[in-house]
Amino acid sequence: MTPKRKKRLTIILGLVFGTALIVGLVMFSLSENINLFYSTSQIANGEAPVGTRIRAGGMVVDGSVKRSTDSLKVQFALTDYEQQVTVEFTGILPDLFREGQGIIAQGKMDANGIFQADEVLAKHDENYMPPEIAESMKKKQEAQK
Amino acid sequence: MKIKMPRWFYQLASPRWFYEFTGALLPWFSAAAILLLVIGTVWGLVFAPADYQQGNSFRIIYIHVPSSILAQSCYMMMAVAGAVGLVWKMKIAHVVAGACAPIGASIAIMSLATGAIWGKPTWGAWWVWDARLTAMLVLLFLYIGVIALNSAFENKASADKATAILSLVGLVNIPIIKYSVEWWNTLHQPATFTVTEKPAMPPEMWVPLLVMALGFYCFFAVVLMSRARTEVLEREKRSDWVKRVIQSY
């Protein structure tokens, strides 16, 4: 490479790493705002703002889902395995909503400490498998218990 | 330190050599692209097993994941080609970078659209402003910005230079897309495939996905070469060899 080309290459590398550094610092300082949701511990510990619309994320606690018999109202507990938050929602839940599933609820905390959700989104993980394998894995786990 | 670039690197810089070389590659890549895409589509949509939680709606992964990967690879190619063009003043590199932008933009739209279609039944929303989805939208805007900037100049040399710099600055978005699901809480799930670990799905699911991904790359190579060849003819239209090529048709 000629010295001229080397110089141009250095300038370009400087440009790329310079922008990466600047953007990295901005992202680092904004990281709290980039998070899509608050964990249930953050809400229970009062780290999440009260009275404004926030998103709460966590796992639906096994056996906590209570459906109303005469309306679309559901109540369930959300956990991050440290703290729990009770959520109330009226409406149609996504297909993937089930006990033990990760979900994200958008809404407000009310005066009784219950999270009033107006939108519930289901999160799914990065593991995919055919139903037969999932079935046999479940059986194996139960046999070990 | 003296770095010597290989011979093919300088050969590629010759428009005529590039035109003839890609002309020889084109039929092979076209055949591979058709073959892989047909096999992958049928395999993924018909023969691969359904997911235990999402059922058949999971099958959109066979289009969503390859298009998302390709949209990012295409951007990296555009930025690297732009850098080569800036450093070595190589026109062919700028031609390639310019050819990448519209392809990348279309593939990014495809990734966002299939993601939205997948999101509605599984998550319950077409769109969420989480870090992964937003970063991917920024990638689309970068592509559109590159296309707009490239066509804003009368002079080809200034257009090449400006778009190369913009695509290099935008390169910072690629690691952000990749790691967004690890750095922040997102609705989008983390990566199923990593270099270090076994894929989080059985082979009967990921083999067709790999076939589709390879098919997408071959398709990309075909479209990229075709666009770049047309651009080479356009830019070199005054030279004798281009006149001979045109006459032979």
Q: What is the DSSP string of B54-77?
A: TBGGGGGHHHHHHHHHHHHHHHHH
CA dist B14 and B180 (Å) reads 40
CA dist A92 and B23 (Å) reads 56
Q: Does B88 touch chain A (CB under 8 A)?
A: yes
Kindly determine whether residue B52 and residue A9, on different chains, have CB atoms separated by under 8 Å.
no
My answer on whether A27 and A58 are in the same domain is: no
Kindly determine whether residue A23 and residue B88, on different chains, have CB atoms separated by under 8 Å.
no
Cα–Cα distance list, A71 to A75, A89, A90, B102 (Å): 12, 11, 8, 50
Size of interface A-B (CB pairs under 8 A): 124
CA distance A13 to chain B (A): 9
Name the residue of chain B whose CA is nearest to A101's CA.
B53
**Looking at the predicted structure, is the pLDDT value of residue A133 above 80?**
no
Q: Which of A8, A13, A21, A36 to mutate to test the interface with B (most CBs of B within 10 A)?
A: A36
My answer on whether A52 and A118 are in the same domain is: yes
Number of neighbouring beta carbons within 10 Å of residue A119? 16
My answer on whether A88 and A65 are in the same domain is: yes
**Inside any domain, residue A45:** yes
My answer on whether A53 and A116 are in the same domain is: yes
Kindly determine whether residue A122 and residue B168, on different chains, have CB atoms separated by under 8 Å.
no
What's the predicted TM-score (pTM) here? 0.87
DSSP string across A2-56:
-HHHHHHHHHHHHHHHHHHHHHHHHHHHHHHHH-S-EEHHHHHTT-SPSSS-EEE
CA distance A40 to chain B (A): 13
My answer on whether A76 and A114 are in the same domain is: yes
Report the residue from A9, A19, A57 with minimal CB separation from B172. Answer: A19
- Reduced to 3 states (helix: H, G, I; strand: E, B; else coil), residue B184 is coil
Kindly determine whether residue B123 and residue A57, on different chains, have CB atoms separated by under 8 Å.
no
- The pLDDT of residue A100 is 82
My answer on whether A52 and A75 are in the same domain is: yes
- The pLDDT of residue B221 is 97
Q: Across residues A74-93, what is the average pLDDT?
A: 88
Name the residue of chain A whose CA is nearest to B161's CA.
A12
Report CA torsion sign: A33, A39, A42, A47: positive
CA distance A129 to chain B (A): 5
Report the residue from A19, A31, A129 with minimal CB separation from B52. Answer: A129
Query: What single-letter amino acid sits at B10?
Result: Y
My answer on whether A5 and A50 are in the same domain is: no
**Inside any domain, residue A108:** yes
Q: Which chain B residues are closer than 8 Å to A96 by Cβ?
A: 53-54, 122-124
Q: Which chain A residues are closer than 8 Å to B190 by Cβ?
A: 125-126
Lookup: tokens for B170: 């935008």
Name the residue of chain A whose CA is nearest to B172's CA.
A20
Number of neighbouring beta carbons within 10 Å of residue B248? 6
- Reduced to 3 states (helix: H, G, I; strand: E, B; else coil), residue B154 is coil
Domain count, chain A: 2
Cα–Cα distance list, A80 to A85, A129, B97, B186 (Å): 9, 24, 46, 15
Kindly determine whether residue A12 and residue B54, on different chains, have CB atoms separated by under 8 Å.
no
My answer on whether A55 and A20 are in the same domain is: no
**Looking at the predicted structure, is the pLDDT value of residue A134 above 80?**
no
In sequence order, the β-bridge partners of residue A66 are A75
pLDDT-derived band at A1, boundaries 50, 70, 90: confident
Q: Does B207 touch chain A (CB under 8 A)?
A: no
For residues B104 and B132, is the Cβ–Cβ distance under 8 A?
A: no
B153-184 CB burial, b ≥16 within 10 A, e <16: eeebeebbbbbbbbbbbbbbbbebbeebbebb
Q: Across residues A118-141, what is the average pLDDT?
A: 81
Domain enclosing residue A15, as ranges: 1-33
My answer on whether A50 and A109 are in the same domain is: yes
My answer on whether A90 and A64 are in the same domain is: yes
**Inside any domain, residue A143:** no
Number of neighbouring beta carbons within 10 Å of residue A79? 18
Q: Which of B165, B168, B178, B184 to mutate to test the interface with A (most CBs of A within 10 A)?
A: B184
**Inside any domain, residue A144:** no
For residues A77 and A60, is the Cβ–Cβ distance under 8 A?
A: yes
Lookup: tokens for B20: 């003839």
Q: Does B3 touch chain A (CB under 8 A)?
A: yes
For residues A81 and A63, is the Cβ–Cβ distance under 8 A?
A: no
For residues B200 and A128, is the Cβ–Cβ distance under 8 A?
A: yes
Q: Which chain A residues are closer than 8 Å to B204 by Cβ?
A: 130
B49: left (phi over 0), alpha (psi -120 to 50) or beta: beta
- The pLDDT of residue B2 is 63
- The pLDDT of residue B43 is 94
Going from N- to C-terminal start, the domains of chain B cover 25-50+59-248
B240-248 helix and B203-235 helix, angle to the nearest 10 degrees: 110
**Tens place of pLDDT per residue across chain B (249 aa):** 567 778 888 878 889 999 999 999 999 999 999 999 999 999 999 998 888 888 888 899 999 999 999 999 999 999 999 999 999 888 999 999 999 999 999 999 999 999 999 998 888 889 988 889 999 999 999 999 999 999 999 898 999 999 999 999 999 999 999 988 888 888 888 888 877 777 788 888 899 999 999 999 999 999 999 999 999 999 998 888 888 888 887
Which of A114, A14, A26, A19 lies closest to B172 in space, CA to CA? A19
My answer on whether A68 and A22 are in the same domain is: no
Which of B26, B154, B166, B16 lies closest to B91 in space, CA to CA? B16
**Inside any domain, residue A140:** no
**Inside any domain, residue A132:** no
Pick the more confident residue, B140 or A45: B140
Number of neighbouring beta carbons within 10 Å of residue B235? 16
**Inside any domain, residue A79:** yes
pLDDT (tens digit per residue) in A58-80:
888 888 888 888 888 889 898 88
